[in-house]
Amino acid sequence: MKILVGVKRVLDYNVKARVNADKTGIELANVKMSMNPFDEIAVEEALRIKEAGDADEVIAVSIGPSQSQETIRTALAMGADRGILLETDELLEPLAIAKLFKHVVEQESPGLVILGKQAIDGDNNQTGQMLSAITGMAQGTFASKVELNGDTAKITREVDAGLESINVTLPAVLTTDLRLNEPRYAKLPNIMKAKKKPLEITPVADLDVDVSSKLKVVEVNEPEQRSAGVIVNSVAELVEKLRNEAKVI
């Protein structure tokens, strides 16, 4: 069985996001970029499934600019077998990304597609669900535990009410929650080996896939600065301010 894993190049989670000068998006020039944290969890889960003997190959797939090769190489250093980059400089919407993943699914016929539940840049949480819909594959979203049993998988999901367990028939699309696992660090020898692993690059423009945008960003702004707090001297003064100034009681 093959496992496809989506890996996205995003602004590093330790870097404070800043709106660019023309207010069309986040400033990405000369800032640290890294793999989306939820995708690291997806890669780790795919590797654990392979190490358990339930998969033969793990393929890291990224959709984005040429620099996304670095993100794929990170996945290869963690242990993935090969990489596929669908190269584009356009900022694609989740539906377009799902359509491109469908193209890869049709080429590779995986038993599992594992994606991060969301990317920390857009926080859309849509690609996995859309991919399931357009491919007809079963889906298990927000997975905090995955147990394979032949051609089925038991997925423990994080939901508002607690934990939910479902059984899905493979092939299936899974999206990862934070509590699914702890991703491994790539060791130096594996980083060196990753440079020699195969990485296939295909321009999105060469594919017969409609990735036209259906949405338009009007303007991006940073949130307003919070005003400083006020220290009160008594409970009575606090109640007075809540009643007359904040008007919450």
Q: What is the pLDDT of residues 133-160, one digit of tens each?
A: 999 999 999 999 999 998 999 999 988 8
Q: How far is CA 218 from the centre of its chain?
A: 24
Pair of tokens at residue 195: 């440079």
Query: Which residue(s) pair with 6 in the sheet?
Result: 61
> Is pLDDT of 38 > 90?
yes
- Write the CATH number for 123: 3.40.50.620
Give the H/E segment covering residue 105: helix 94-108
Burial track 199-215 (b if 16+ CB lie within 10 A, e otherwise): beebebeeeeeebeeee
Tell me if 12 is assigned to some domain.
yes
Secondary structure element (H or E) that encloses residue 39, with its range? helix 37-51
- Whether the bond between 171 and the residue before it is cis, its omega within 30 degrees of 0, is yes
pLDDT in tens, 191-248: 999 999 999 999 999 999 999 988 888 888 888 888 888 888 999 998 888 888 777 6
User: What domain range includes position 23?
Assistant: 2-217
> Structurally, how many domains does the chain consist of?
1
Locate 205 and state its tokens. Answer: 């423009």
Question: Is 47 a residue whose pLDDT tops 90?
Answer: yes
Q: What is the H or E stretch that residue 167 is in?
A: strand 162-169
Structure token digits, residue 44: 């780790």
Q: Residue 115 above 90 pLDDT?
A: yes
Residue 239 covered by a domain: no
| % of the chain at pLDDT higher than 70 | 99
| pTM of the entire predicted model | 0.86
Q: Does 231 reside within a domain?
A: no
